[in-house]
Amino acid sequence: MAAEHITVDGVEIHLGKPVEETPPWIGQREVLIQLLAAWARVEAADLPLNPRLLGKPGVGKTTLACAAARELGLEIYIMQATMDTRPEDLVVSPVLAPGGGIRYMASPLVTAVVRGAALILDEGNRMSEKSWASLAPLLDHRRYVESLVAGVRITAHPDFRFVTTMNEDASTYEVPEYIHSRLMPQIYVDFPAEDEERAILATQVPFAEDEVVDYVLSFLRLAHDRDLRYTVRDGINLVRYAMKVLLRKEAADPRAAVRTALRLTLPADELEEFEIS
């Protein structure tokens, strides 16, 4: 059972809870090994690296990071970065205590720092430079974060591991070079191979009919060939929705159910390009 709070320089800080359920990582063992290598320590004086996982939304970057943490036996904490994320959101936030006064709540990042866990900063390139700057001491040899609100400095546990995911799209900030140099190595996560993608669909939607999986897989492979944005995450949702359509008998067969799911998912101009077989 994780400690619910810690005391740093006389200040009581309440910790968060780890993520309990994560999907399995299927296939692409090479990128998992690359991430595990980045987190390894060659000797006691060595420090783990702070890699960034780059790829299209939905290819499994967060799932990959969770799988690496599980392989190392680490608790997992996930923090979603947005354009509105402030430095204190990343560290400690003051909230009203039940009996009055102020209670200091640790972010998932600080909880991971204290607990010696893995922190996944999701979509890190949506975060501003000001917020990234507050993490600079954590991502180099100093390995600490400071809270101006609580007035404390918190040093990372030796087992603490950090990784950030970054999507390849236009709605992101340019990460400054002094931060980029701390986020090494860059590990690219590509689309899964066809057999891996099939296994993911079957594992994530175990109640799906084989024909539905086949038709959705056919759509995904066409989308990948044309370098469109659709990923296995979209495929999972398409399979799930097609099965719901079949359950309600709103389509005559699996192919028609998938066509209905595609029609309600894709823009009209893209739908005309796909003829699933």
CATH code at position 122:
3.40.50.300
Of all residues in the chain, the percent with pLDDT exceeding 90 is 72
In a domain, residue 81? The reply is yes
In a domain, 276, yes or no: no
Residue 132: how many CB atoms within 10 A of its CB?
26
pTM of the model as a whole: 0.89
Are residues 208 and 85 part of one domain?
A: no
Q: What percent of the chain has pLDDT over 70?
A: 94
Q: Is 277 within a domain?
A: no
- Write out the residue range of the structural domain in which residue 167 sits: 5-188
Burial of 264 (0-12, 13-18, 19+ CB in 10 A): exposed
53 beta partners:
165, 187
Q: Are residues 25 and 152 in the same domain?
A: yes
Residues 101 and 66 in one domain: yes
Residues 114 and 211 in one domain: no
30 and 59 housed in the same domain: yes
Q: Examine the domain organization and report whether 46 and 97 are in the same domain.
A: yes
Number of domains making up the chain? 2
Question: Of 188, 212, 243, which residue is a domain's last?
Answer: 188
The structure tokens 């910790």 sit at 15
Does residue 237 sit in the same domain as residue 155? no
In a domain, 28, yes or no: yes
188, 215, 234 - which closes a domain: 188
Is residue 268 over pLDDT 80?
no
157 has pLDDT over 60: yes
What's the mean pLDDT when you consider all of the chain? 91
The reply to whether 259 and 230 lie within a common domain is yes
**123 assigned to some structural domain:** yes
Question: Within a domain: residue 255?
Answer: yes
User: Where among 163, 188, 213 does a domain terminate?
Assistant: 188
Q: Is the dihedral of CA 127, 131, 136, 137 positive or negative?
A: negative
Query: Is 199 inside a domain boundary?
Result: yes
pLDDT tens column, 224-257: 998 888 999 999 999 999 999 999 888 789 999 9
pLDDT number for residue 123: 94
Claim to verify: residue 141 and residue 184 sit in the same structural domain: yes
CA pair distance 176, 55, nearest whole angstrom? 19
Mean per-residue pLDDT, 162-186: 87
Residue type at 158 in one-letter notation:
P
41 and 104: one domain? yes
Same domain, 211 and 125: no
